[in-house]
């Protein structure tokens, strides 16, 4: 039975970089954000988003993700409505993806809101990636051309590191990439030892 390693961390923590390194080491990786983007192009999800948030967030029938983000990252209730549409679709997408990798010992399920969505309960192991808050803010501002306020609004919608770490099996501090990669190798060694003992 393939074990699912949940990989999470706050916005700008560099969890996607860490996920890529797991992939380099031969572990299949599912990026929930990419899965979300894919399912948001399906007619079923588009129809639900349109009926929930209105036609105003569509430009010529194409979802304007920026307009949607403006709504949901300012209001927890609106975000909850979007998550109720997208999360079940992503779960189905992941289950279909997992079928292709059922002969692997481990797969990575990388998600920013692994805990907030409750998906961590379906993981065998959870790894949280951390980085200092200022580093995270700078990374996101550069990556997304966001303002500091926009980044802080998104951070407020997520759990803080302390809360994440309390429910995690492993923690990777991603302030120094070289050291962070060494942590990935250590974790895989520990998991392989446990696998061989079970």
The contacts of residue 48 (CB under 8 Å, 6+ apart) are 85
Asked whether the beta carbons of 129 and 108 are under 8 A apart, the reply is no
Q: Which residues are annotated as a binding site for ATP?
A: 12-17
Check residue 162 and give its pLDDT. Answer: 95
The contacts of residue 5 (CB under 8 Å, 6+ apart) are 22, 27, 106, 107, 108, 109, 123, 124, 125, 126, 127, 191
For residues 164-174, average pLDDT? 97
Q: Which two tokens stand for residue 83?
A: 């998550």
Q: What kind and span of H or E run contains 58?
A: strand 58-59
- Percent composition of the chain: helix, strand, coil (DSSP 3-state, to 5): 60, 15, 25
Asked whether the beta carbons of 29 and 20 are under 8 A apart, the reply is yes
Classify domain 1-28+106-198 by CATH number: 3.40.50.300
- 36-100 shares the fold of 1-28+106-198: yes
Check residue 121 and give its pLDDT. Answer: 96
**Fold observed for domain 36-100:** Rossmann fold (3.40.50)
Domain boundaries, the chain: 1-28+106-198, 36-100
Distances (CA, A) of 114 to 8, 46, 158: 6, 23, 10
pLDDT band at 141 (very low <50, low <70, confident <90, very high): very high
Q: Which residues are annotated as a binding site?
A: 12-17
pLDDT band at 161 (very low <50, low <70, confident <90, very high): very high
Strands 29-31 and 170-173 come out as: unpaired
pLDDT band at 29 (very low <50, low <70, confident <90, very high): very high
């Amino acid at each position: 039975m393939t074990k699912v390693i949940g990989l999470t961390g706050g916005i700008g923590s560099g969890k996607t970089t860490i996920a890529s390194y797991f992939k380099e080491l031969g572990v299949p990786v599912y990026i929930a954000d990419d899965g979300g983007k894919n399912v948001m192009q399906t007619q079923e999800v588009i129809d639900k988003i349109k009926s929930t948030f209105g036609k105003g967030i569509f430009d010529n029938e194409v979802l304007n993700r920026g307009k949607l983000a403006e709504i949901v990252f300012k209001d927890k209730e609106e975000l909850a409505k979007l998550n109720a549409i997208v999360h079940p679709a992503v779960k189905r997408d992941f289950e279909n993806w997992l079928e292709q990798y059922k002969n692997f010992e481990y797969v990575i399920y990388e998600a920013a809101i692994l805990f907030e969505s409750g998906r961590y309960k379906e993981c065998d192991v959870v790894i949280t990636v951390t980085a200092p808050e200022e580093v995270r803010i700078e990374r996101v501002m550069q990556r997304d051309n966001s303002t500091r306020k926009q980044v802080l609004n998104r951070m407020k919608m997520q759990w803080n590191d302390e809360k994440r770490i309390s429910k995690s099996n492993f923690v990777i501090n991603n302030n120094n990439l070289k050291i962070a990669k060494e942590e990935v190798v250590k974790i895989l060694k520990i998991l392989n030892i446990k696998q061989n003992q079970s």
